[in-house]
Structures are given as structure tokens and as C-alpha cells.
Amino acid sequence: MRLGVLGGTFDPVHFGHLLLAERCREECLLDEVVFLPAGLPPHKRGQAITSGTDRAQMLELAIAGQPRFRVDRRELSKDTPSFTVETLREFRREQPETELVFLMGADSLAEFAQWREPQEILELAEVAVVGRYGSLTADLGAYRQLWGDRRVDRICQVQIPRIEFASREIRARVASRKTIRFMTPRAVECYIEQQGLYRSCE
């Protein structure tokens, strides 16, 4: 069993998230991909975030029909910041025989050394770094000096088509009463409208 773990705020989920997950499922030979909405992202302290209930529900709507995708809400029940290394430890305790693959965007790789216990993350899981075609040429040399070949060899690179969607842009467009059609699944678009989400500017 190879399990992909994709964390994020998903506020809201959009087609870029879904394409990333699907391409990694295919390229990394994953049996399943878990979407892990963050409860209290440590890098977004003090920022207004849509309720975990709404973000998880939008994820459920977005992945409906893909049996190899599921939503895991464990971080939403915590009242302390969520850290990747701690969540991966939980998965390891629960599923000791499962091979974990943590999925991240290429922009996160530049900050990876500042994450909590990055070396432990590489012990717990492979890391799939996802970037756009033609732009993903990450130099892992500095990390090899820090952590050694054995750990850094657990980092692989996956390329996807260029998609410029961002959750921030979707929120801004809703607040400006502009369309978000074809930026996120139609079911998510309808949910945002029905629940009155993102109508106020941030």
C-alpha cells in the first residue's frame, strides 16, 4: 500500500490541487491520496481562515467520483497548530506497513529546511515535489550536504501542466462578485454560493 498525503488549507480547493493529486497518484504509483485540510496552519497564524467544516465539505464535493481520493479531518479537531512531521507519525503508528509519500508544491521545497524536523519527515515518508513543466529543476545539492544522500534520495520530482489558480484569487473574485467558473469543480462553486463564503474582502 502506497499512500499519498496532501496537506493544505484548501480555502477553497481548486483544480490545481486536484491535478497535483491525480498526477502524483499516477506518477508515484499511489494506491490512495489523502487530502489533509489543516486546522491551524503554523504559517498562517493570525489570518482569517474559513471553518474546517466548510473546507472539508468542499473537498468532499471536489473529489466525489474518484474512489482513490479521500479526506482526512484529523487536523481539524486539534486546537494547536498542525505540523507535518506529527501527522506523519500518526499515520505511521496507525499503518506501519504502509509506504507514505508526502506531496508538496515546488515552492515549498525552498522552505523545507525551516519546517519542523525535516529530516524526520524524510525518514517517515518519501517526498514528491510537484512543479510545472519546464520549471522544475530543483538543485538538491545543499540538502545533500545537510542531510546526506540516503534521505535526499527520498525526494522525487513530478511535473504537471502550468496552472495558475490560487485559492487567494478565488476568494478575491467571489468578494468582487466575479465568476469562478472552471477554476474549481462546479459542486464547490455552488457550495460557496449557497453558504455565502468569501463575500467579504480579506
How many alpha carbons fall within 13 Å on the CB side of residue 126? 20
C-alpha span between 30 and 28 (Å, rounded): 6
The pLDDT, as a whole number, for residue 161 is 83
Phi, psi at 38, each rounded to 5°: -75, 145
The pLDDT, as a whole number, for residue 143 is 85
Q: Encode the chain (202 residues) as per-residue pLDDT tens digits.
A: 999 999 999 999 999 999 999 999 999 999 999 999 998 776 666 678 999 999 999 999 999 999 999 999 999 998 888 899 999 999 999 999 999 999 998 888 888 999 999 999 999 999 999 986 555 555 688 888 888 899 999 999 898 887 778 999 999 999 999 999 999 999 999 999 999 999 986 5
Tell me, which fold does domain 2-164 have in CATH? Answer: Rossmann fold (3.40.50)
Nearest in space to 63 (alpha carbons), one of 6, 126, 121: 6
C-alpha span between 167 and 183 (Å, rounded): 9
The pLDDT, as a whole number, for residue 44 is 63
C-alpha span between 11 and 192 (Å, rounded): 11
Domain boundaries in the chain? 2-164
- pTM across the whole model: 0.91
C-alpha span between 145 and 142 (Å, rounded): 5
The pLDDT, as a whole number, for residue 46 is 64
